[in-house]
Structure 1
Amino acid sequence: MSTITTEELSATTLLRFATAGSVDDGKSTLVGRLLHDSKSILTDQLEAVERASASRGAEGPDLALLTDGLRAEREQGITIDVAYRYFATPRRRFILADTPGHVQYTRNMVTGASTAELTVILIDARNGVVEQTRRHAALAALLRVPHVVLAVNKMDLVEYKESVFAAIAEEFTAYALELGVPEVTAIPISALAGDNVVEPSANMDWYGGPTVLEHLETVPVTHDLSHCHARLPVQYVIRPQTSEHPDYRGYAGQIAAGSFRVGESVTVLPSGRASKISGIDLLGKPVDIAWTTQSVTVLLEDDIDISRGDLIVPSKDAPATTQDVEATVCHVADAPLTVGHRVLLKHGTRTVKAIVKDIPSRLTLADLSLHPHPGQLVANDIGRVKIRTAEPLPVDSYADSRRTGSFILIDPNDGTTLTAGMVGESFASPEPVKDAAEDDGWDF
């Protein structure tokens, strides 16, 4: 078997990032400029954009159309859905999510940034920091996105003045740091003209920092294995029952966090049964070690009862199981989430029945104030919830693991996704009160 070094484990060639900002700040144009100037679009795609631009009376290609693909988006000139795009340069591969800017699509920004390692927040240099800017900064902090880029766009419309850029960067950085954003990199750009997007700007010689693409290519995205909680949600139990492998019994899934090694002692949750890893199969071949995002099949020394929805963890680093989950959530459905709401909670590969016991607070993102005990959350609301599950769940804090510290609530009647949740996350908490659904007769 091959031996893989820690340096190889820590190396990364893929960056997931999202764009956010107010309507008409130029998010889609920035993404289009990145794709165009990095030569990451095909000739027929560019020709299609040129034809669509000409039909709308534009003098040149409207690069925003590379991501605004829905008919409704093109007609309105705004981004409604989250547009995902893949591109690559010689230095790194990228998956980007171009998210909507309108306040009514805040939930889409949560979807796009939930797996991002970096968020680009755009600001129109003419308008400066506005309410939606603060909202997106707050969401980036809440979702614990490790890196934030402030792209001050449309610098060409303010005569490329350094003073305008400096004032906006100072105001935003102070607000972001107050929220707990760990890092802000400010870059003055013109997405339409291409200044500081892929190529350095000749119009802003006072700026000596990286272009947007240069920063995306060089920002460190590593996994500190010494502090990573290893988690493997079981998706499928494999028993081929062939003459070649008559006793084969493997547990397949994608590693959500950390790494696993052959010979390591592990515990299966929620049952609590323990064993040791006797083998790891990756792409049909045995390996000594596997790590985050790899899809593997794990074999154990003991024949214990494991099924889809179970979680395999290192015995020395097993999370506690609980039936009482407190979390910050973003409500994404049109129908409200109310106290006493019966739901399904999906955590990893496990889905259990649950009930909303209380909604302690709703967050006002404009000024980070709390509205205590609102009774319900409506679409795009962010608030605190207390949930009681029918079965114990091994949940991590979202601060420790964005994968195993998150969940979704599902409508049991039609399968609609209601809410995205982050275990333990909170800006602040109001005074505790008696659970509103404490005496409703439910026995779990």
Structure 2
Amino acid sequence: MSDSGTLPVAVIGAGPVGLAAAAHLAERGVDFVVLESGAKVGSSVAKWGHVRVFSPWRYNIDSAARRLLEADGWTAPDDEWLPTGAEIVDDYLAPLGKLFGARVQVNAAVTAISRLGFDKVRTNGRELAPFVLRLSDGREIQARAVIDASGTYTSPNVLGASGLRAFGEETVTELIDHALPDVLGADREHYEGRHTLVVGAGHSAATTLLGLAQLEDTPITWAIRAGNADRTYGGGEADALPARGALGTRVHALVTSGRVRLVTGFFTHRVSAHADGVEVVSRDPLGDEQSIVAERIISATGYRPDHSIAEELRLDLDPILGSTRALAPLIDPNAHSCGTVPAHGVDELTHPEPGYYAIGVKSYGRAPTFLMATGYEQARSVVAAIAGDWEAARAVELDLPETGVCSSSLAEAQEQRVGLATGVSGGLLGTPLVLAGAPADGGGCCG
């Protein structure tokens, strides 16, 4: 059996949080390999590259990453600028990934993780066995520890309101897009002049509504489960991040003016092809039905973690959120917004499987209260623990802006952000905007 202490730490995902973990490992002189499923670092962030985040650069750059980059001659962007996803990739993640050279492997999708010679049942000597990561290309890599920052971007929630796929949903997939299509750019031809139904009450829904509203002769219907859209409208001028507050204010104006038709109390139950596109039927808890016929659907219902690659590891997941049990009460959207989540680190992220940690947006399970700065502190704490510096690992600190518009109810907050932000800025900055807790990443956004 290999001496696991001589093996590298495997980081899954080359998004903001995965590369932050790599930066902290590099600073501490701990060998590592980053495994990115996409063709480049930040591949999931690149998929929403047209979106401008509402959190400024100062919240989006990890401290260790900044130190390493500046030592290499990099000049940081303006701390107060609100970057697009493309700018985050080009101006931050790409230079950071380049620093690590061959230790970052792209097109390296992890399909399974286990312990060398140990299935989930075997215990004696388990903690001494190295991890083995199987890749989609047939390779296997051994590691002393695993930091899973793969995010959730590749596992969107379903359209159905009960967490189950709506009846018929799989029959009209060609008419359904998930959060943050580029409605003003690459995807414009799919939406311009076509009646579009946006389902969801989170920031990606708001971002999409603002983009669609700029297309002429494009009817827009917005369906939410709640009885009103106050959560989406948010804190307005009182929001600590002005761009986020402006997001809700501008959506409110679109509804008030009639540019966007708001349908409340809508619980998607059944979907079927229709002569005019697709019919979406709601059935509320009392059994009452209503329907909407549209030509396209944008399902902005968020994301959920996929723990299947770790099914041979011993995970202790909260039965509601899918985070660790210790983390769940700290991030519960019934009690917390993004800005009220307390600082947390390795102690709250530890599973019964020693040496395996899920960090970033994946660590939050279904809770939509994640911000990228939170993921950076997780990365710092976990890496300190792996390096044996438990004093630093447990000295967790977090300084976050109050989030006026962050989700406040689990039932309504299925949208999962990554720590960026999501909102289309239209008149604010002239380009689509995303939130400081933006889309999840599989090596992308903020995971």
- TM-score normalised according to structure 1 size: 0.23
Instruction: Looking at secondary structure, tell me which structure has more helix per residue.
Output: 2
State which structure, 1 or 2, has the greater radius of gyration over its C-alpha atoms.
1
Q: TM-score, normalised by structure 2?
A: 0.23
Q: Which has the higher contact order (CA 8 A, sep 6+)?
A: 2
